[in-house]
Structure 1
Amino acid sequence: MIIFGTRGITTTPQRGDFHCPSCAGKQHYALKRVRRFFTLYFIPLIPLDKLGEYVECLSCKDTYKPGVLDYDPAHNALALEAEYHRAVKSVMIHMLLADGVVDDAEVKTAANIYRSVAGREIDESTLRDEIDAAQSSAEDLGATLRALQGGLNNEGKELALKAAFYVAMADGETQPQEQTLLAEVGANLGMSEAHIHGVISSLQSPVN
């Protein structure tokens, strides 16, 4: 039986130094390129379409669009937002909207989770504005995450999934629709079922 398919392969065509917005200083970076390959017996043979590329800071592990290499702190006061922070906010907001109602307590919880998971502050009024914008625009979370797939490393993908899990568990348990959404978040980020299960299992395991 002939076994064929496709899978994404990540290569590192470029390395160097850049100004990392998160570290606020000069750090080593690796430019990562993700390309889909045709596989035969699980061996990648033919390069197909490019899924994306991103710059990874080798110090803090944040990932950015390649344009960050042109970042000049002297002429640009606003740091580029790390791609996985965008993913974290997107999954948190959609998890909050899963039951159709978002109260002040949930917004406060989400802000605390973002601070804990992403290591950044977000005030509740800003988060509420982003929730309202997502609600009115009917943003497609799947499309948003698939667009980020080629710009996130494994740490970023796991971070986004963890944030979704913590929001789902804010009331003490996950509902069936929330469990489905968690699986969809991981899948749309390009994570395998085993990877998704491993991350969620580690979060459910009691701490000794």
Structure 2
Amino acid sequence: MFFIVWGWRGRQKAIANGQFFCPDCGDHREYKLIAVNRWFTLYWIPLFKGKELGQFVECQSCKSTFNARVLEFDPKAERETFEAEFSIAAKRVMFKMALADGEIDESEITQITQAFSNIAKREIEAADIAAELEAARDDTRSVKDFVSDISGTLNDVGKETVLRAAISVVKADGQVDQEEVVQLHELARALDFPRAYANGIFAEERIPVLA
């Protein structure tokens, strides 16, 4: 039997480069401006380009990604104004994962606080927790839909950071149920991870791999 294998996949392409002030490095660094477009593939070969999914600036030193507005960044302005896109995404995903069962407990708050501190390289304050928790509750999108909307602004490092942050929250209570496993795999697909890459992360994190 003959099967035609086709689909759509996001592809990244550098469209500009130069120097900018990287908020994470705290100094001027080389950057690339990267556009993410959806491509139609036939037998995994890209044939034609679809719509643009988004653009991001990637620091060539620390590999953090930012909204393109960072190219206008004033070092004297508040650093958090241009907080790394993956930090923002990881924080929102962690809260939405914790709220998936309708409530959030102390162990999940502790895990989110610790994980965010490691990602953003700064402490997360109580007011920030309260504000983000309220924002996550008000955001009616599922975790999958939220990630699909922002995946075009993340590079591979950012995507892996978001996925591992979600896994850390799911594991915070000491057990991972089947519904959470399915949700994590949906999250990986929404991030446009190759299956083998995602399964490698799941195996390392001791999350069941779905067939």
Q: Same fold (TM over 0.5)?
A: yes
CA contact (8 A) 1:111 1:124 kept: no
**Does the CA contact (< 8 Å) of 2:92 and 2:132 recur in 1?**
no
**TM-score w.r.t. length of structure 2:** 0.87
Do the aligned residues in 1 keep the contact of 2:55 with 2:153 (CA within 8 Å)? yes
* Equivalent pair of 1:28/1:58 in contact (CA under 8 Å): yes
Q: CA deviation at 1:38?
A: 2.3
> What stretches of structure 2 of length at least 5 have no aligned partner?
none
Cα pair 2:40 2:48 within 8 Å, conserved: yes
Give the share of equivalent positions with the same residue, in percent.
36
RMSD after superposition: 2.0
Shift of 1:4: 3.5
Q: Does 1:141 align with 2:143?
A: yes
Q: Which segment drifts farther, 30-39 or 135-144?
A: 135-144
More divergent stretch after superposition (189-198 vs 155-164):
189-198
TM-fit CA distance, 1:3 = 4.0
1:119-134 paired onto structure 2 within 5 Å: 119-134=121-136
Unpaired runs of 5+ in structure 1? none
- Structure 1 residues 1-208: aligned runs within 5 Å: 1=2, 2-74=4-76, 76-78=77-79, 79-204=81-206
Separation in 1, partners of 2:6, 2:179: 34
13 and 87 in structure 1: CA distance in 2 versus 1, 3 angstrom threshold:
same
Q: Whole-Å Cα distance in 1 between the matches of residues 7 and 188 of structure 2? A: 20
* Alignment check: 8 A CA contact 1:34 1:51 kept: yes
**Structure 1 31/40 Cα, relative in aligned 2: closer, same or farther at 3 Å?**
same
Shift of 1:139: 4.0
Aligned length: 204
Per-residue Cα deviation, 1:63-111 (whole angstroms, up to 9, x for no partner): 011111111224x334401110111111110121122222334312320
SS in 2 for 1:98: coil
Q: How far, CA to CA, are the matches of 1:53 and 1:20 in structure 2?
A: 17
Question: What is the CA deviation profile of residues 99-132 of structure 1, one whole-angstrom value per residue up to 9, with x for unaligned ones?
Answer: 2222334312320122234433212342133113
